[in-house]
Amino acid sequence: LGGVSGRLLDDAAVFSLAFRYQPEGPPATRVEEWIPAAYLPVGTPLTGFNARAQELNRIWFMAIRDDMLGALRSQQSPAWLYQFDWDELPKPFDDIFGAAHAFDLPFIFGNFGPSLFANISFTNANAPGRVALSGAMMASLGAFARNGDPNHAALGTAWRPWPARIVFDAAPEAARISSR
């Protein structure tokens, strides 16, 4: 992709901020302190941070994912794919991170306890939706472990095998699960 690096803070600064962050308080940082001006506003088509991150995702991760799932499906069928879209983090982390890589892990394991990630992500306001989403994700993992199929009644939609996928998302007050 070239151009400016997408991050202004080094690891020590990120750790320090996350360690002391109070998610129920007013924002103690701004998106401009994290993301270079060249990528702001984050929602700008083609040049914004989200567009650049999506392009990197398309070129790199989605191609690898599709190759892997195609190979897996050639050896056993069906293969299942989910997309994690939860981005109800408090400001400005909804723009800085959104639904980033591995942010689904607390949802899959139902672990929203104290952590650096929890400090910048989990609030009383987003609890109802994220807990409901976590419950649906854990039930899918359990169904898959029991019978090789992640579908269960609480999903509210059919999870069709790849190349279709289910989208796990939530508003602050409720899970939003859909199929694509």
pTM score: 0.91
Give the pLDDT confidence score for residue 174 in this predicted structure: 98
**Long-range contacts, 45-54 (Cβ 8 Å, 24+):** 49/6, 49/95, 50/98, 52/1, 52/3, 52/6, 53/6
- Three-class DSSP category at 167: strand
At 135-155, the pLDDT tens digits run 999 999 999 999 999 999 989
Contact 62, 70 (CB under 8 A): no
At 67-126, the pLDDT tens digits run 999 999 999 889 999 999 999 999 999 999 999 989 999 999 999 999 989 999 999 999
